[in-house]
Structure 1
């Protein structure tokens, strides 16, 4: 059975795609079955996973129906199978939103039909909430990771994130700066507001992230010694613990545990 993990945010520039790519690569590096579904029209995650050419055709492209997703599945240098968004349009995005909202189980059914390995974690890169496609991904997901940048915008929009996800979100603070007193104050405010929903891992601002992107590699392969690489190792370990707890119980995972 697949585990669907929606990666969402309500703040612009939160780093959804970056976190999705590096977390997926770390899962693959750890030998875990993983794939990425890109529902973000920016069509940028392929480059973060090492592809040198932009994916012209994908799940959001004209003429690609959900039952044809297997044909657009791409292998990546990071070792993470990718269902890219491809080139899209407002009409295609609207049609995808309508399908997802009208067929609650459709996303899981079509991902299963793609033939991903049993037990794969499917990380779903979304557009900024309250986008309709992102909301549908949240509804379908077993676990929701909300990326909150440790900035004023991140703190201000945090309540919108928690409301949009109906209390199911696990918050990942991103681009934290340990040497900034203002950043540390904002982090404390984010943690105080989020309580137990805040993951006990923060992703630090690190030049290694930009260098990895520029070189078309991920931190799992080229981030030795960087703080961000270590952060993603810790985030992957936390995710595995959360999933192990969920899979040891009955029901469907919601917010990190199964009920």
Structure 2
């Protein structure tokens, strides 16, 4: 079943919050959804009501336990959550080294989860290049890059387009986050991205304090502020992703 990898060449773009709320958006469409956190910050779980002090996660056991599904926790709204978990420096370094040396590690760890009928798996990665991103780049059915309409994101576009961030073996889709048309630079950069990315731009999410507030309440933005701008935008992007998933599930002869 589909594996969706979310990444960003830089930090601070709101990727983890977006990952969580896209998971809720897909769950609202009736899909079974599990999220897995490959970021050492281990914050994805907080969007799903997992207690702050909960040490559970897959990284500390990833080299001894080939089925990462065993580490899934029940998150809010019926979303499964596999946290990064509490891992010391040695465990983290061993995990990243094995990801680099063993191309099949991530495939083996995720195979039982991806075998669940209709399951959609969203993988949140740390900012910038990483062993996890390289491994997931090979496996993902849908690759989403989250950017902000700012000079830093714009400056990194050539690296992405030349395959220095993700490989060019299959399409990359983009989401532009924290769009604020009240600010001239933000507005100009947004228009630049729209022109440059064309149909690969899956959608844009307006800057909205409701997203931060939803995390503070450990609720989906659809529950905490269903009428807000970001809930509307993320809902539309979720529909777009749903359509991509349907395309993946069509028999090959339909594409002939």
TM-score, with structure 1 as normaliser: 0.88
Residues in 2 aligned to 1:66 and 1:227: alpha-carbon distance in whole angstroms: 42
Give the match for residue 206 of structure 1.
Answer: 208
Unmatched segments (≥5 aa) in structure 2: none
Backbone CA RMSD of aligned residues: 2.3
Query: Contact (CA 8 Å) 1:14, 1:154: kept in 2 or not?
Result: no
Matches within 5 A, 1:62-211: 65-114=64-113, 117-162=116-161, 163=163, 164-167=165-168, 168-199=171-202, 201-211=203-213
Given the alignment, which residue of 226, 237, 253 partners 1:235? 237
Matches within 5 A, 1:22-61: 22-61=21-60
Displacement of 1:9 in angstroms is 0.4
Give the match for residue 249 of structure 2.
Answer: 247
Displacement of 1:62 in angstroms is 5.2
The verdict on how the C-alpha distance between 1:202 and 1:154 changes in structure 2, with shifts beyond 3 A counting, is same
The verdict on how the C-alpha distance between 1:70 and 1:143 changes in structure 2, with shifts beyond 3 A counting, is closer
The verdict on how the C-alpha distance between 1:88 and 1:51 changes in structure 2, with shifts beyond 3 A counting, is same
Give the match for residue 254 of structure 1.
Answer: none
Q: Structure 1: which 4+ aligned runs deviate by more than 6 Å? A: none
Give the match for residue 9 of structure 1.
Answer: 8
Unmatched segments (≥5 aa) in structure 1: 252-257
Q: Which moved more, 1:233-242 or 1:159-168?
A: 159-168
Query: Contact (CA 8 Å) 2:3, 2:114: kept in 1 or not?
Result: no
SS at match of 1:203: strand
Residues in 1 aligned to 2:252 and 2:126: alpha-carbon distance in whole angstroms: 31
The verdict on how the C-alpha distance between 1:32 and 1:63 changes in structure 2, with shifts beyond 3 A counting, is closer
Give the match for residue 225 of structure 2.
Answer: 223
Q: Which moved more, 1:69-78 or 1:25-34?
A: 69-78
The verdict on how the C-alpha distance between 1:64 and 1:72 changes in structure 2, with shifts beyond 3 A counting, is farther
The verdict on how the C-alpha distance between 1:116 and 1:210 changes in structure 2, with shifts beyond 3 A counting, is farther
TM-score, with structure 2 as normaliser: 0.88
Query: Contact (CA 8 Å) 1:48, 1:218: kept in 2 or not?
Result: yes
Q: Which moved more, 1:86-95 or 1:142-151?
A: 86-95
The verdict on how the C-alpha distance between 1:139 and 1:55 changes in structure 2, with shifts beyond 3 A counting, is farther
The verdict on how the C-alpha distance between 1:63 and 1:191 changes in structure 2, with shifts beyond 3 A counting, is closer
The verdict on how the C-alpha distance between 1:23 and 1:154 changes in structure 2, with shifts beyond 3 A counting, is same
Residues in 1 aligned to 2:61 and 2:31: alpha-carbon distance in whole angstroms: 32
When the two structures are aligned, how many residues end up with a matched partner?
Answer: 251
Query: Contact (CA 8 Å) 1:41, 1:60: kept in 2 or not?
Result: no
Query: Contact (CA 8 Å) 2:72, 2:80: kept in 1 or not?
Result: yes
Residues in 2 aligned to 1:3 and 1:63: alpha-carbon distance in whole angstroms: 21
